[in-house]
Structure 1
Amino acid sequence: MNIFSSGGGVQSTAALVLAAQGKIDYPVFVFANTGDDSEHPDTLDYVRDVSVPFAKKNGIEFMIRQKRRLGKHEHQTLLGEIYRRKRSVPIPARMSNGAPGNRTCTVDFKIRIIDKFIAEELNHGGRSVVVGLGISTDEIHRAKIREPVKTRGFIKSIEYPLIDLSLNRSQCQQIIINAGLPPAPKSACYFCPFHSKDEWVRLRHDRPDLFQKAVELERFINHKREAVLPKDKIWLHRSLRPLDEAVGLQRTFDDLENCEDGYCFT
């Protein structure tokens, strides 16, 4: 069986249109929501208001799933997890040497949620499943060659259908528009340290409320680390400066530095 891991953005929406047109074979799409307080609201609105109805109209299952606390029915969010931890940080915040820190966000809030859905809800134990990721040709460096792996009792293979069709991001957006759908937004958590300089400027300009929340998050992380690592500050911005000092209002239009797994920014 083929499953598409939707990031809720341009490439994933184009893949949904292609699936509806019968050009790629993915009858099930799954969006792993990192949390209504974590994903950019534009992404959540688009998924719920555009992607889900479009999928239903075209006979495609579009499922939204979220991490739950162990042994409980309540959802767990990435933002909540950052605030809960005493020292470690699950996002790739930049260390004092400029390198992104170790992260677990994609594995814990994206990959494992998709794998759990396949194993428990689709009952595919012992069977082979192909998971499609929305990486286009202009991000081909993110398309890692991966051998099939056994996880949660099924064999998982990864495919990149947009690359197989030689589609870039601009072509993906055009596919969406040609289908009569509104342009899809970029997808990412609004506080993701992989944002480019221009993405941060755009957030501050267009969504000052979210930008301020990101500023407060960075301050909180450094405050709780002071007791054990007083000189080891971490930053959300690649300039290694406090976010509210690093981000101006003039756009720079530089490239986006992406997460390498292919489950985000798609």
Structure 2
Amino acid sequence: MSKPVRHILGLSGGKDSTALAVFMRQQYPELEIEYFFLETNKELPETYDYLDRIEARLGIKVVRLEAERGFDHWFEVYGQVLPSPKMRWCTDFMKIRPLEKFIGNDEAVSYIGIRADENREGYISTKPNIRPVFPFKEHGLTKADIFRILDESGLGLPDYYRWRSRSGCFFCFYQRKYEWIMLSKEHPDLFKKAVAYEQASQKDRGYTWVQGTTLLKLLERQDEIIEQHNKSIKKEEEKLRKRNASLADVLESVLDEEDDEIPCMICS
């Protein structure tokens, strides 16, 4: 007798995957969905708080999937070379491999929170037993719908959306300059750890988290970066006022203008 098809949904601690969990519970209550979170032990505290809220509000259990060896191990294996958009070893060892181990050879449907207004695919496994499904695309749901779903569910947004628009590790190399500055203010201890990784990498390799500068040099320009960000926020607020955009929406638009590079899909 063949095993039943598994239904899986990954939560990143961000708005889209959370809204998808709410949407699937509302629209397809008959499905026995397995919810998971890819644990790196390098997340923001707000992410863990938000996951707890999701579990409590939706009455679900989110399985934490963790790699056998953590970031520090692979950092040493790679000769203290920082992960980067061109060499995302952290995604491979700490995200993709634990997920594919979790699924094994079982037939699985993977629900992915890519919206109808996005031009990206998300992480799609090359394993033939995993079939990706995009409910938001199928139902024509856009960013405005995601904010509405989260608001109506009572979950709202994670607290880090005050200053950061993407989920992921506290030292994610896809962070924009303003987000690094805010990390230093919101979580100075985590910022110091990010600096320590960077300085270790610089000894022999000269790698930095932000292309062309170090975090400490970036900190020297914090007043300039914050001032420019605030000017951009004000300009964007005026532009989006007509469609009643939320503060999180405004922040995301401004940060995307600074750097619209698409982050690791499996992370965000």
- Tell me, yes or no, whether TM beats 0.5: yes
Match of 2:76 in 1: 84
- Note if contact 2:82-2:209 (Cα within 8 Å) is conserved in structure 1: no
In structure 1, runs of 5+ residues without a counterpart are 69-75, 93-99, 120-124, 227-231
Matched residue of 1:187: which SS? Answer: coil
Taking structure 2 as the reference length, what is the TM-score of the superposition? 0.73
Match of 2:214 in 1: 242
1:65: how far off?
1.7
Distance 2:82 2:101 in 1: 20
Alignment of 1:48-59 (within 5 A): 49-55=52-58, 57=59
Q: 1:147 to 1:114 in 2, by over 3 A?
A: closer
Aligned partner of 2:127 among 127, 143, 149? 149
2:155 partner amino acid: L
Match of 1:131 in 2: 110
Alignment of 1:1-266 (within 5 A): 1-23=6-28, 27-35=33-41, 38-47=42-51, 49-55=52-58, 57=59, 60-68=60-68, 76-78=69-71, 80-85=72-77, 87=79, 89=81, 91-92=83-84, 100-119=85-104, 125=105, 127-143=106-122, 149-150=127-128, 155-184=129-158, 185=160, 186-223=166-203, 226=204, 232-238=205-211, 240-247=212-219, 248-249=222-223, 250=226, 252=229, 253-255=254-256, 257-260=261-264, 262-265=265-268
**CA-to-aligned-CA distance 1:88-121 (integer Å, 9 cap, x gap):** 53621xxxxxxx43122112111221221222xx
1:8 partner amino acid: G
Distance 2:74 2:50 in 1: 25
Distance 2:127 2:74 in 1: 29
Distance 2:63 2:88 in 1: 25
In structure 2, runs of 5+ residues without a counterpart are 1-5, 161-165, 230-253
Say which structure, 1 or 2, has more relative contact order (CA 8 Å, 6+ apart).
1
1:243 partner amino acid: L
Distance 2:82 2:99 in 1: 18
1:10: how far off?
0.7
Higher helix share goes to which structure?
A: 2
Q: 1:171 to 1:201 in 2, by over 3 A?
A: farther
Q: 1:236 to 1:147 in 2, by over 3 A?
A: closer
Q: 1:170 to 1:54 in 2, by over 3 A?
A: same
Distance 1:209 1:138 in 2: 37
1:172 partner amino acid: I
Q: 1:217 to 1:141 in 2, by over 3 A?
A: same
Distance 2:176 2:113 in 1: 20
Provide the aligned C-alpha RMSD in A.
2.6
Identity %: 26
